[in-house]
Amino acid sequence: METELKHRNVTKTNGSAVPATPAPAPEKEAVAYQPKPEPEAHPAGEIKHGRSVQIFRGVTLGIYFGLSCLAVVLTQLIGAPLYFFDRNLFYSYMAVTKQSFALLSMSVTQWWGPTVMRISGDASVAGQIHQTEDGRVEFSFPERIVLIANHQIYTDWLYLWWAGYANNPQMHGYIYIILKESLKYIPVLGQGMLFYGFIFMSRKMAVDQPRLAYRLQRLKEEHIAPDGSKYLNPMWLLLFPEGTTVTKNGRAKSVKWSQKMGYRDPEHVLLPRSTGTLFCLRELKGTVEYVYDCTVAYEGIPRGHYGEDFFGLSSTYLQGRPPKSVNFYWRRFRVDDIPLEDDSEFDAWLRERWYEKDALIEDYLNTGRFPRATDDIGTNGYVETEVRTKYAGEFTRIYVVLGAVYLIWRILMRIWARFAG
């Protein structure tokens, strides 16, 4: 790594600079993170659209998003009977509908909330991030990984889902997200997420462990190809070990937890909870070779403030004030090198990764960049691109199944009318 993290002591992990982890008194850490007054300037500048334009943007966004969600759910219902005849075909069909929702979320961002994506990583991901001739990014991550990330704002999952779309082979139909249980009760969207095989957690391990074990068992189930060989379905399992976004309330809880446990509390991230992540890795060991870690930072968030204070749905999609840039810094860890046998050792391992994230974000705040990629990708070691589909009309794939069903229905009705008449 060519950028030196001068603001604190560092060590080396996988060829990259990472922070050492001295343990100053938690009391001092708690005092340092009291919320600061709201700054006058928004990180994305002034509101770009007047009220009438915002209303128009809101109406058009609502119509497009609502109708598209309905189309996706109807498409799921059409294919639901496959579950009782061929499970493999059912899950493949649902992967296609998951791709449709990914296209929906990307087109919404492309049209209503465009932003620059700036991507780099350490030596462990060298050669896996490429700039295409038309300016897009292409990842070459494996088909089966566990993906962990810090959680800044609620749209984190959208940008990470886009990374699956930008991967070769594309993985936006095979991403699985662990979510809080209340989300499954959202009308239409909740039903869609259930079909997608997303994992809903009550945050009570006694309740969650059986359902989590069941879902992970399905994700590591072997299948038999026509030639008799065995294979595993693709899978990107997305985990947010912090459990929630970084907010004023979340920071207070993290400080309290660090004081209780005697840990150093990080400034820019929350202390991760290791139980769920450890359970997933133990269950999937032998079927997943790597954990990919993404550190996420949003441009312009002042020190001591939180992304949710600036980049809500209204700001991002209606006012014309999305983040100026969303920044990814990628690292990779081999599962066999992670201490999964001992709970306390894994907790320390995961906590150390979050201290490293804290140092990376500190460096980002000081320089406006994550460290440049070690394989000198893009310009000056970064790929800069945007969330967009590969071609202009790709979003129409959302409606292909419904269009085909409607066409078949019209043909059958004409045939029936001819014979009946």
Residue carrying the six token digits 């907010």: 247
Asked if pLDDT for residue 32 goes beyond 60, the answer is no
Query: What residues contact residue 144 under an 8 Å CB cut-off, 6+ apart?
Result: 232, 234, 235, 236, 287, 288, 289
Task: Note the pLDDT tens digit of each residue in 374-406.
Answer: 666 766 788 999 999 999 999 999 999 999 999
Domain count, the chain: 1
Flag whether 245 is in a domain. yes
Contact 322, 311 (CB under 8 A): yes
Residue carrying the six token digits 């919320």: 35
Asked if pLDDT for residue 10 goes beyond 50, the answer is no
Asked if pLDDT for residue 85 goes beyond 60, the answer is yes
| Cα–Cα dist 180/198, whole Å | 10
Flag whether 193 is in a domain. yes
Flag whether 234 is in a domain. yes
> Which residues in 222-278 belong to E strands, given as ranges?
222-224, 230-232, 235-239
Flag whether 399 is in a domain. no
Nearest alpha-carbon partner for 17 in 5, 27, 25: 5
3-state secondary structure of 380: coil
Task: Note the pLDDT tens digit of each residue in 201-245.
Answer: 777 777 788 888 989 999 998 888 888 888 999 999 999 999 888
Query: What residues contact residue 285 under an 8 Å CB cut-off, 6+ apart?
Result: 335, 340
State the pLDDT at residue 99: 95
Cα angle at 206 between 204 and 210, to 5 degrees? 110
Flag whether 408 is in a domain. no
Range of the structural domain that residue 234 is part of = 51-394
Contact 28, 21 (CB under 8 A): no
Flag whether 7 is in a domain. no
The single-letter code of the amino acid at 251 is R
| Cα–Cα dist 171/164, whole Å | 5
Task: Note the pLDDT tens digit of each residue in 132-157.
Answer: 989 999 999 999 999 999 999 988 99
Binned at pLDDT 50, 70 and 90, residue 81 comes out as: very high
Asked if pLDDT for residue 9 goes beyond 60, the answer is no
As a whole number of Å, the end-to-end CA separation of the chain is 77
Asked if pLDDT for residue 17 goes beyond 70, the answer is no
Flag whether 37 is in a domain. no
The single-letter code of the amino acid at 150 is N
Residue carrying the six token digits 């001295």: 22
Flag whether 5 is in a domain. no
